[in-house]
A and B are shown apart, each in its own frame.
Chain A
Amino acid sequence: MLIKLIYKEILHRKLNFVLALLAVTIAVAFFVSFFTANDASKKETIRLTRDMGFNLRIIPGETDMNKFWTEGYSDLTMPEDYINRFWEFKDYSFAHLTATLHKKIIWNNKEVVLTGIAPEIEPSEKKKTAMIFSIEPGTVYVGYELAKDMQIRQEDSIKIFNRYFKVNKTLSETGSIDDIRIYGALSEFQDLIGFKGKINEIMALNCLCVSPDENDPLEILREQLDQVLPEAKVIMNTTIANARERQRHMIEEYFAVITIFVIIVIVIWIGVLTMINVRERQKEIGILRAIGHSGVRIFALFIWKALMIGLLGAIIGYATGTILALKFGTGIFKITADSLKPIYSLLIWSIIAAPVFSAFAAFLPTLSAIMKDPAITLRKE
């Protein structure tokens, strides 16, 4: 009888029902679309900030930093196999570890930087897309300024210290020292400049997710490096690292503010609608009391209705939110569009949370109606 009463009342007061359903649907759709897109947004942010380049440089511990900054690299070297130490430690915050060897040389009467790069290693065994191009033996990548100045084109053959290399690619302009760099395979460049088995830098990306305002990530990274590689030290490009973290925090804080706003608006919305519904039904409540229905039963009538609205709103809201996220997300997150997929666990969460939320919003108006003396509405005097 209770369900039938609710059902018939809904049909009788369709507008009230539709508006309440709309409120829950909007709230659920907002959260579902946000969380569905959030996954892609996180990946997109990671990709975009990652594309800003490595932000960690692990260099020999004895490096003179004055020379380092004036030269652009350490004049000291360390054994290449130092990088393998990271395999033995899993609990650290360095990712995309790449062994490199940099050396300034005069080439064709020009000062250039040779940079040998080894393939990235990922001891954490997490599947990650490579940060930097992988270089085939016998090939090189030539920086923008150098290529322009010396009219070097892709597929050209260039000679460095009596050895010929094929130009795999000429790079686009970066506005940094990279524009006068020649990248080659680490082992070949080690041979070329007589530093066999040596490197002078391990480039890496910080994957420590702490706010730059809360903790000093560099301190944590240095502690970790002391355990893995005490012979080396780490420096961090804080501009890139902070940009990464600030971007992440900004999105989280923005969402938190919007969430509070949406919740308050929706609770008021449902609460007002319930209040209107309760006022319209004062006489009905009075007569139900008069013919022997308890306050608890009448309370249940309103709360069950709110729960039904919540349940229906959860399902419609989930579908709407997912469709919106999939439709518009692909336009927003161009790089990681493929990772936009329906999150089915959100449906379960919506089904649990939306009815509770809806019942919560309806609770006070219903309680006030039940507490009100029904005789007052039935007295016509």
Chain B
Amino acid sequence: MIHLDKVSKIFGSPPKQVEALKNIDLHVNKSEFIIIRGPSGSGKTTLLLSIGGMLQPSSGVVNVENEDIYLLNEFERTKFRASNIGFVFQMFYLIPYLNVLENIMLAAGLGSNGARQRKATELAAQLGISDRILHKPSELSAGERQRVALARALIHQPKIILADEPTGNLDPDNSREVIRILKEYHQTGGTVIFVTHGKDADQFADRIFYLSKGEIVQ
């Protein structure tokens, strides 16, 4: 499903260069729930963005769904991401001027507008935000915003969800709710890579990796 072979990422140039990832070898099977834990600055987000085709490593190979994604051109990689990967971020990154429904529908590659709207409404109901569907992100609580971001990531039924500290800004109840949603997605056959500081999701994880200074240490 996901193979990382000696992936390194270096930012900047000498003498100020930072090696964010160092020779990472990682194999994730289909339908696995993986947790990547590590302190701030350990390279978790860099790793996630590299897997998601958003950040080209300085060296190494990132193979997702039997595709060396950095051999694809920009257009092909965007298309690949649209049909295979869903991103969820700690900061939600919702579009401030769109309402909940429009934010969910924003994900590309869903065919007609009608189908997209039906699916977005359905997801909003499943995630308990159907009464907030016409609200702007600024009118939502943090938990609701993260559920919108989750709905946006899930709408095109991706094979992989890459979640970058999705519970980092949430209270315990909302954190549990987000983890529950991701678990449900996992149970339907989806692969989850969950980057976190905390241990709330440990009970659902198939495997847990620790990242320190750009290296997987255990």
Contact = CB atoms under 8 A, between A and B. Distances in A.
Q: Do A and B come from one complex?
A: yes
Interface of A: 1, 4-5, 8-9, 11-13, 283-284, 286-297, 373-375, 378-381
Given A9-B97, A12-B97, A295-B78, A381 B108 contact: no
A379 B55 CA distance: 10
Contacts of A295: 74-75, 78
Given A294-B74, A381-B44, 13 more contacts: A11-B97, A13-B97, A286-B93, A289-B78, A290-B52, A290-B93, A291-B81, A291-B108, A373-B55, A375-B55, A378-B89, A379-B55, A381-B45
Q: Which of A287, A292, A381 has the most CB of B within 10 A?
A: A292
A150 B209 CA distance: 120
Contact of B93 (A4, A12, A283): A283
A305 B72 CA distance: 30
Given A12-B96, A284-B95, A381-B41, A292 B108 contact: yes
Given A1-B113, A291-B107, A292-B156, A378 B49 contact: yes
17 contacts: A12-B96, A284-B95, A287-B87, A287-B93, A289-B54, A290-B81, A290-B93, A291-B81, A291-B87, A291-B106, A292-B78, A293-B78, A294-B75, A375-B49, A380-B91, A381-B44, A381-B46
A374 B54 contact: yes
Nearest to A294: B78
A292 B95 contact: no
B63 to A, nearest CB: 19
A375 B79 CA distance: 17
A375 B20 CA distance: 13
Chain B: interface size category: 35 or more
Contacts of B81: 290-292
A290 B79 CA distance: 11
A283 B92 CA distance: 11
Contacts of B87: 287, 290-291
Contacts of B79: 292, 294
A292 B109 contact: yes
B98 interface: yes
Given A290-B87, A292-B81, A295-B78, A381 B40 contact: yes
A290 B91 contact: no
Interface in B73-89: 74-75, 78-79, 81-83, 86-87, 89
A108 to B, nearest CB: 92
Contacts of B20: 381
Enumerate the 3 nearest inter-chain pairs by beta-carbon distance, A residue then B residue, closest first.
A292-B82, A12-B97, A292-B108
A380 B90 contact: yes
Nearest to B153: A291
Contacts of B82: 291-293
A145 B90 CA distance: 97
B39 to A, nearest CB: 10
A9 B87 CA distance: 23
Contacts of B109: 292
B167 to A, nearest CB: 15
Contacts of A284: 93, 95
B152 interface: yes
Nearest to B165: A380
B54 A378 contact: yes
B27 to A, nearest CB: 23
B43 interface: yes
Contacts of A373: 55
Nearest to A283: B93
Contacts of B86: 291
Contacts of B55: 373, 375, 379
A305 B40 CA distance: 38
Contacts of A11: 97
Interface in B1-44: 20, 40-41, 43-44
Given A375-B55, A381-B43, A381-B46, A291 B152 contact: yes
Contact of A290 (B54, B90, B98, B105): B54
Contacts of B91: 283, 380
A12 B97 CA distance: 6
A293 B108 CA distance: 6
